Amino acid sequence: MIFEGRPDSTKAPAYAQYYFDRTIGHTNLLHALEINRDKVIEFINGLPEDKADFQYADDKWTVKGVLLHIIETERVFQYRALRFSRKDATTIAGFEERWYVDHNNNENRQLSDLAHEFEVVRNSTIHLFKHMTASMLDFEGAANNEIVTPRNIAWMIVGHTIHHCDIIKERYLVDTDEQF
């Protein structure tokens, strides 16, 4: 099956290896996206409301800011994967994640709304990838001047999400029993 196998770090930016390492134990891309979706929705729904606007340091994002960063980054990665899967070799510019978080209005959001939005975006990601052929998944494009394939972008989505949920757990929930 075309969704079996681990990511290929030779067709991804060097920083992607960190995200790939977060997905160890998964070998089916669609299954990894689905399992991750379910765990993250459960995680968000279990977050204490009194932590939603918490920052562990003055220059750090709130929990809601981190969650919206996950969602918005997934949207950016979806767009990149869509373009490359359609054999569009035009180099795609990078994006400044801080600008997105600084201007995403997360302070007026509820955790339940963010859980729902994450689910919608992830379901869209799954639908995008599940209809790709091997040729579409493995087309090499350039984003932020780095070669990457849609297949590797999907693995990056999973690893990026795990990374940020782990940060929430380790730095924002230190005085609670919440786990991811």
Task: Yes or no: say if 53 and 61 are a contact pair by the CB < 8 Å rule.
Answer: no
Helix (H, G, I), strand (E, B) or coil at 143: strand
Q: What percent of the chain has pLDDT over 70?
A: 97
pLDDT category of residue 179 using cuts at 50, 70 and 90: very low
Q: In terms of residues, how long is the chain? A: 180
Domains belonging to the chain, first-starting first, are 28-47+61-172 (1.20.120.450)
| Backbone angle region of 87, left / alpha / beta, with phi > 0 → left and psi within -120 to 50 → alpha | left
Residue 105: predicted pLDDT: 76
pLDDT category of residue 13 using cuts at 50, 70 and 90: very high
Scanning the structure block, which residue is given the tokens 């569009």? 88
What mean pLDDT do residues 23-38 have?
97
| Backbone angle region of 108, left / alpha / beta, with phi > 0 → left and psi within -120 to 50 → alpha | alpha
Q: Quick: pLDDT tens for 43-75.
A: 999 999 999 999 999 999 999 999 999 999 999
Cβ neighbours of residue 107 under 8 Å, at least 6 residues apart?
53, 62, 64
Q: What percent of the chain has pLDDT over 90?
A: 86
For the cut 90, the answer to whether the pLDDT of residue 100 exceeds it is: no
